[in-house]
Chain A
């Protein structure tokens, strides 16, 4: 009887453990627009663009990722395709700035979610950016179906909004 009581107590304490990621949770995260959420295999990926944190950068990319599955899932942000379009209609690929070579193929833990902020560089390209599109389809090697790209409309001065 004593052990049963202890067991119930333990269960009550255990139920207070940290909860895992559940589908839809990224859409409720305050720092990303719900319209930017893409499901790629087991992962939900949500994006936002912010003003650049360093002079010379194109923008700051906010990436939220959540794993709906109960197993770790490979995720490689380097495989994201990021293209910027300026006012003249010219397009330029944007690159992740990774001075310490930290970004690579990692596995998102089961039911885990995380957020990262990554600098974007446009190299020597000039002209004010008006539209940035990010395709995360290839960031999850196991994913079967492609996800539509997320496009942002705006400028440094006005900020960036997810475009329909």
Chain B
């Protein structure tokens, strides 16, 4: 039985390595017609490069608990769940800071589509009103987590070394506040307050071309669902096509 198991593991590893080798193309020649992985014009022609943009940046979000739907969860094995109003969270707003990642591709000369993922953290210091019989307090750590996943559709206006972009993010965002709760003076138990919400955020961005294939951008956005909520950031991006195909109008 042990031998069979070992044979299965060995066969799996062999198949995995074969599959990996098959996926990895090894170029055997740099002569047109003899190349097995590439083609004439790869890397330098617009027809054989992809108009994609990959970006990474730092961002800051401004979230207001009031007006959101929150759910509480206290305990780990059999957590107690309850709803809680945003107004029960004492702070008026929370500003968090984190990283965001972007991949978009041009569907036409000016219009692009893509995905955006962002993650931010903060240290909330707030009081929380007792809810559903629970006495609640926040934890004195990086207890605030804010994550977003969205599709992006936008348009770009080339203005020389600067570009102006207007875009909209449509997706979901989750905000979680780590808390501790107890009932009837018992021991404090770890838990969280979580809010899921639709993300619908128009944004404006300005790109500065630092090389034909690299930009530094500053952007700002405002939530369409919660107009008081804003976000802003700076990012660095690499572009598959020089100046995204066009430097000026």
Contact = CB atoms under 8 A, between A and B. Distances in A.
B77 interface: no
Interface residues of A, number: 41
A126 interface: no
A118 B208 contact: no
Nearest to B49: A109
Given A14-B208, A14-B210, A116 B236 contact: no
B213 A11 contact: no
Interface stretch (A34-42, A64-72, A83-91, A150-158): A64-72
Nearest to A12: B216
Nearest to B58: A6
Interface in A58-104: 60, 65, 70-72, 75, 97-100, 102-103
Interface string A3-32: 100110111011111111000000000000
Nearest to B213: A18
Contacts of B218: 7
A7 B216 CA distance: 8
Contacts of B210: 11, 14-15, 17
B31 A117 contact: yes
A151 to B, nearest CB: 23
A60 B31 contact: yes
Contacts of B242: 20, 70, 72, 109-112
Nearest to A117: B31
Interface string B40-62: 11011111110000000110100
Contacts, number: 128
B81 interface: no
A98 B32 contact: yes
B67 interface: no
Interface string B220-249: 000000000000111110100111011100
B183 interface: no
Contact of B211 (A17, A75, A97, A98): A17
A92 B196 CA distance: 74
A70 B243 contact: yes
B92 interface: no
A53 interface: yes
A102 to B, nearest CB: 4
17 contacts: A6-B58, A10-B58, A11-B210, A14-B211, A19-B211, A20-B211, A20-B242, A97-B33, A99-B33, A102-B40, A103-B32, A107-B46, A108-B44, A112-B43, A112-B44, A112-B242, A118-B40
Interface of A: 2-3, 6-7, 9-11, 13-20, 53, 60, 65, 70-72, 75, 97-100, 102-103, 106-114, 116-119
Interface of B: 29-34, 39-41, 43-49, 57-58, 60, 97, 208, 210-218, 232-236, 238, 241-243, 245-247
Query: Considering the complex of A and B, which 6 residue pairs feature the smallest CB-CB distances, nearest first?
Result: A17-B214, A114-B44, A14-B216, A17-B211, A106-B45, A14-B210
